[in-house]
Amino acid sequence: MQVKVKINGKEYQDDVEPRMLLVHFIREKARLTGTHIGCDTGNCGACTVLFNGRTIKSCLMLAVQANGAEIMTIEGLSTNGLHPIQDAFLEKFGFQCGYCTSGMILSAYVLLQSNPQPTDHEIREALEGNLCMCTGYQQIVESISYAATKMKEAGK
């Protein structure tokens, strides 16, 4: 089946098997490998992307269901250098192996768009669909809180 989607502002069109998952389309057809596959069953959040502005787990959607949609992956966040959330993760040690990080950052991005000064509790709630096996979450929460402060100071 033909699929046409816009990813990070660029159009991708291809013939795919009807059963192809969106995460596989993103990684294998669009070659955007910042979107990770952790579980393939909707549990870990490593495959999180923005779908028409909202976070989804791209392993839970077929590529054909995304036909006509606008998607943003982690690569789309850093087209002009690192985004302040990415900088904050670097400065506050918000990752170790990095496997969960692109999903964490995209969930944080959506949170900060609607709630620019979230409490730690609100950050933890926003991340409940994203699992991390390494950090214990504390540095991730600190990174997002720090990003919120930096973005406020920078007027972003």
The one-character DSSP state at 78 is T
**Which residue, 37 or 151, is less far from ligand FES as judged by CB?**
37
Token duo for residue 69: 């949609």
Are 18 and 62 contacting, i.e. CB atoms less than 8 angstroms apart? yes
- Nearest to 82, CA basis, from 91, 69, 71, 70: 91
Report phi then psi at 53, rounded to 5.
90, -5
Contact between 124 and ligand FES by CB under 6 A: the answer reads no
Binding mask 2-41 for ligand FES (x = CB under 6 A): -----------------------------------xxxx-
**Which residue, 9 or 105, is less far from ligand FES as judged by CB?**
105
The three-class DSSP label of residue 97 is coil
Q: In the bound complex, what is the minimum distance in angstroms from residue 139's beta carbon to ligand FES?
A: 9
Q: In the bound complex, what is the minimum distance in angstroms from residue 27's beta carbon to ligand FES?
A: 11
Q: Which residue has the tokens 């720090």?
A: 146
Q: In the bound complex, what is the minimum distance in angstroms from residue 47's beta carbon to ligand FES?
A: 3
The contact set with ligand FES (CB under 6 A) reads: 37-40, 42-47, 57, 59, 95-101, 132-135
